[in-house]
Structure 1
Amino acid sequence: MLPNVLLISGQDEWTKITEVIEHIVLPQLEVNGTSFLLRPEAISSPPSQEVVLVVKHQTPVSRKYVVTQMAFLLKGQAVVLVEGKHKVLKALAGILAPKEFQIDLHGKVGNQTPYSEWLTFIVTTFGAIVTQCRLTPQAHYEGNCYLIVHEGLPELLMKGEQPNKVTIMAVLGLLARARPFLPTFWELLPVSFVEMPPAVRQALQFLHNSYNRPLRLSELAKWCHVNHAHLCRLFQQWVGISPLAYLAKLRMSAAWKLLTETKIPPTLVASLVGYSKWSQFSQQFMRTFGMKPTQVRKSVVLEPLKFGDFRDTVPN
């Protein structure tokens, strides 16, 4: 398996994604309809020992919340695996599949790993999750997971078993005009950010881009090209708290926003802000706010907390 590396494209990444939807994907659908979208039932190639999975495609939410999966190959070539079968795709191409199918976008035939760039959409019961990724012979690069909260999206796709051109274009059009719900909190960077050592700036950029993923301190230190002990000392000196405490602040800020402004179940909120275990999320939330996540939903009036209102806590 190739290593997963965070793909940081800057603060305008979502703008670039919407431009791809509007100027590449939608025109392709307009001209060719759904004929360039591969459907799982159309894959007839038998399993082969020469086909190897390079990177496991991770779905950021439980499959029970998934309505439809879409992915568009923007550049390069890809070996797509679906339920043990495979298909070689060349850009521009796409794949559309119901939630029942396990899709892996990154396979290879033989020893050569193909270069590919993907834009993926997971339409869920609460909206959609959008991300982009890139596969090279050296690594798999994955961009931010953008959460779009829109109750109308799943309703569009639930009306029929086979989404047609008009429906798919309507869904993508809504996504292109939407604003991601989970922010990167760039405005919350320390005032002294530009004066900080490169390792601290890189760490902050990494955390703001990927707080909603499961993260390890060793991964953060590797990204900054320093050992974790040195990074912790620098972070404490310049930011005033540890990297893990800063990560907890970002996650808890996002969790509060989701719990107070959406109807997304608390258990799903936990995974959307980077926690793989509910118990860890609930304990951190209780330490930070003095109340359980489920109590937030039951409250009648809640004032959004500011970033500075957090206690200096460290996640498990």
Structure 2
Amino acid sequence: MHFPLHLLIPLGSAMGYVLAVLLVKRSADYGVGIFRTTFVSNIAMGVCFAPLWLLGGPGQPWSLIWQPLAAGALFFVGQFFTFIAQTKGDVSVATPMMGVKVLMVALASTLLLTDSIPLKWWFAAALSTLGVALLGRASGASGAQKHQRVLMTMLCAAAASTAFATADVLIQKWGRAWGGGRFLPIMFGGVALASFALIPFFREPLRAVPRDAWRWLIPGTILMALQAAGLGLTMAIWGDATAANIVYSSRGLWSVIAVWLVGHWFSNREQHLGAGILRWRLAGATAMLAAIVLVMT
């Protein structure tokens, strides 16, 4: 099987995503909150994508500016639900759960790009569903708390995946006509500007964020922006959103391994849930990875 070298970019993005999430989740321990975290992250996105304007591109009439802005609106929604899932839930549940994004990309590609879905992708969907079931079984809490926490994590991750998947397909659909150096800066500039609407919902102003929190939040949000840039450029330049997301979905496996091995570096408490629970989560992540491989081969 030939592996296109440009897919190493989303592979690196997948690993960068896991580190970014651990950093952001650590900052949440200082009470930063969902709205301020989303605001800072989205501003970082706008800043990091702005230099891509220098890459140029054919562009499109300004009457079509709604195209990158629509993709940006979907990304904004996905980002918000991501931070709910990752900061209020468990990283080793949320990140593998977001692996279903690749199947949603395939479905959205069929609806928006008139691509057909091969039979093996439906088998991949079944494997992915099994992975979700295993993740739902793997919880360290008890009773209602267990079900509420895991269900909340999985629902938010699914909502984020749906929004991100649709945005990715729109990048593939419209991005090449605009050029990566036009579509992406406008898209993420819109995300950054829309984030100012979150300010009235801040529990406290940004200046009230503890200094120790910034040590985790700033590198986490910058890394989140850089990994998104890698994935976005891959789709805008080479156009294969499905293949890029197949590789990118390996982040589910990396997240379980990272929490297990180095989670304590970030004061992540999931490591203390016990080896049995993390094994279930690893099994769920592996099932999702098997679905990814099935789609890719």
TM class by smaller structure: under 0.3
The structure richer in helix per residue is 2
| TM-score, structure 1 as length reference | 0.26
**Largest Rg, 1 or 2:** 1
| TM-score, structure 2 as length reference | 0.28
